[in-house]
Structure 1
């Protein structure tokens, strides 16, 4: 099968019902023709249908598919669209750098959802096959897809891709209902935890503190199914303030369980000004306050710095610790924990860092770590060892993320 540019030849765009019903079957036929002619070819499968598991709605998934397809369009090869919105690309192995760039752009689009390239691959949302080595596996993979496609059409379930449901945006009525439910709900099952750890050179972890946070998708699923809580940013911001108050209860409980471990939650600056936080503070035993850390978002802090400083002075006087979270590349030169009077600063990794890094940014990061201290600078969203090694190169010693969660613990001193 001769390759053409993906932009010139896109398979599966015929609007006739007969062609739509047999997209995977047509792809299977093409793959069967490749037998004995696989040398120098690579295939990629973006499983848009699995993005529902990461909390994306159908509209978002279609945008992701469009962006990825546009990135692939400059490569030599063929793009195939399947009934469930999945994309399969068959191209040339010699274009791997360009393919890596397309996949990197995809990961950058998903970074705010805490979905990295490593996550895409580990959870088999993004699959890659070197066909001269794994042709038979790819053939079996496509054959199974063709069977599922035919079954979906036979059962009349191919209208909406599997796993997706059309969700309504959060409105004021839904927010009021959610507020009522959260007032009385036990949110224990909605709470997740993740430790920020000091890592040894051989990647053994020593927890410094444990962050507790709510899973928004679990809140959706359990309390307001069929609603997209992230769609309306203004209402979502108010929702986070409601969740703040519930998480304070969790914070008090977790701090009371241990006499040593430091625990933290994310919280809005506005919540620290509320009467309910004052009530929480009055009920908190003085001896526990030093082990409670309040994490404030970088954007929240600098959008109203005067309110931040007022709240900061109050909570520090009461004995709480503070962390500035959510610091991206453009915030490196502005963060000084001594001037901000906070205990930790947390940098938010995303997969665009290696591409965007230059001498100027590298110097800013080096100076940030020097200014704030290697034991007080945390690199967050660490999904693989390469990210950790990147941070260590600049002197960072504290890390947080899914990869860190799976590392063995260092032995006690």
Structure 2
């Protein structure tokens, strides 16, 4: 969240709006193409604040509390409106807060309609960022450019006029995620990790099977630290992914810190299987003792070690040794983050991995409409449906495609929604394209 968005009520409003618009542009540039399942709610405070000016500060307090969640961002827009961006999993919380704000201004004619997710009212307008991020980015850039042209740059951040007036940077162009990670920058980040309390950064996501009645049945829980959230917390201006070798070193350091908390989190898991994201180096290092001790204390659970393919390929002999070590200690091994092409060549049996985790994407959907789709189906059958997890299932169509491939285990925000709401998977006819059917 832009720290001035909700708290700076005494500074120059023009400068404040410029700063927040610049932050919105940077956030959209940083996440363009990765906003499936995200929404934005435009709260039109400009229309109502005069009707109850004393309610403005309580409204800001409510929004500030909401924005403590790193997945929820709040940006100031021209004329005093606010934009609340969030993932669909946080939709109910956002609607609840917006409804509380509406009631603060209930005498205003713009506030007569209750707030419903995705339903536009005079007070709140909704945007689906998966489809509208590009147009919103263009609007924000144009609005900012118009303002700077009209004021001759007035309101720009000190030293920031050149960047704010520059053309938009698109993904794939240098600088779209921030400054490159350097060895010196990595050293500072590692020092910061040593001091930080990472217990609040650990996230959980369930892995489920779909029962005959459509209800999802949790069979596993993945414990992980969301790198994107962590980056926003400790290094929002640094591109952690700009150098793969430095990034691997960063995640190895992160692993060592995460293992400090792992015992308590494994104890809190209520599924028969729990999976941990680790580096190969962590399995072979002294920090793995904490993981081993946690597994011993909870021997009734299957503990799975999730290893990224790029980490494995960077040092295959080390992986082979780590895999044997893990198997001897009773752990299962999962190869993580496999896209469509990787699923065509990674051999679970030759690598002696217990699980593969596929990543659903439009690319995989396109692949399945080609001859390679039949090859992928055959490979999944050969590996065993219970050994393949289809991840990033953000809608019913992804689950249906996975089922058509032969997958039996699913993970993603769509399943999170079903579990939270207690509703069954109920695919519609258009959730499965003809080329995916058997």
TM-score, normalisation: structure 2: 0.57
- Does residue 1:175 correspond to 2:183, yes or no? no
What is residue 317 of structure 1 aligned with on the other side? 328
Q: CA deviation at 1:189?
A: 2.7
1:52 counterpart SS class: helix
1:230 counterpart SS class: coil
What is residue 267 of structure 2 aligned with on the other side? 256
- Does residue 1:190 correspond to 2:164, yes or no? no
1: distance between equivalents of 2:293 and 2:363?
A: 44
- Does residue 1:326 correspond to 2:344, yes or no? no
Q: CA deviation at 1:51?
A: 6.3
2: distance between equivalents of 1:353 and 1:405?
A: 22
Which aligned pairs between 1:260-275 and structure 2 lie closer than 5 A?
A: 260-275=271-286
Q: 1:410 to 1:322 in 2, by over 3 A?
A: farther
Q: 1:334 to 1:226 in 2, by over 3 A?
A: closer
Q: Choose which of 404, 415, 422 in structure 2 pairs with 1:404.
A: 415
Q: 1:337 to 1:145 in 2, by over 3 A?
A: closer
Residue pair 1:247, 1:265 contacting (<8 A) in 2 also: no
2: distance between equivalents of 1:397 and 1:200?
A: 10
2: distance between equivalents of 1:349 and 1:285?
A: 30
2: distance between equivalents of 1:388 and 1:253?
A: 32
Q: CA deviation at 1:316?
A: 1.4
Summarize deviations over 1:249-287 as a string: whole Å, max 9, x none.
34322112246542222212122111322x325643524
Q: Choose which of 290, 295, 303 in structure 2 pairs with 1:280.
A: 290
Summarize deviations over 1:138-164 as a string: whole Å, max 9, x none.
xxx98x997776445434447545999
Runs (5+) with no aligned partner, structure 1: 1-46, 62-118, 129-140
- Does residue 1:231 correspond to 2:242, yes or no? yes
Q: 1:248 to 1:262 in 2, by over 3 A?
A: farther
What is residue 246 of structure 1 aligned with on the other side? 257
2:200 counterpart SS class: helix
Summarize deviations over 1:87-112 as a string: whole Å, max 9, x none.
xxxxxxxxxxxxxxxxxxxxxxxxxx
Q: 1:55 to 1:293 in 2, by over 3 A?
A: farther
Q: CA deviation at 1:382?
A: 1.6
Q: 1:52 to 1:274 in 2, by over 3 A?
A: same
2: distance between equivalents of 1:323 and 1:351?
A: 23
Structure scoring higher RCO (CA < 8 A, sep ≥ 6) equals: 1
Q: Choose which of 353, 367, 370 in structure 1 pairs with 2:378.
A: 367
2: distance between equivalents of 1:147 and 1:331?
A: 42
Residue pair 1:203, 1:407 contacting (<8 A) in 2 also: no
Summarize deviations over 1:164-198 as a string: whole Å, max 9, x none.
99833222122112112212311123222222211
- Does residue 1:341 correspond to 2:352, yes or no? yes
Give the paired residue count.
Answer: 293
Q: 1:242 to 1:120 in 2, by over 3 A?
A: farther
Q: 1:166 to 1:338 in 2, by over 3 A?
A: closer
TM-score, normalisation: structure 1: 0.60
Summarize deviations over 1:216-275 as a string: whole Å, max 9, x none.
233233223432222222211110111111222343221122465422222121221113
- Does residue 1:52 correspond to 2:39, yes or no? no
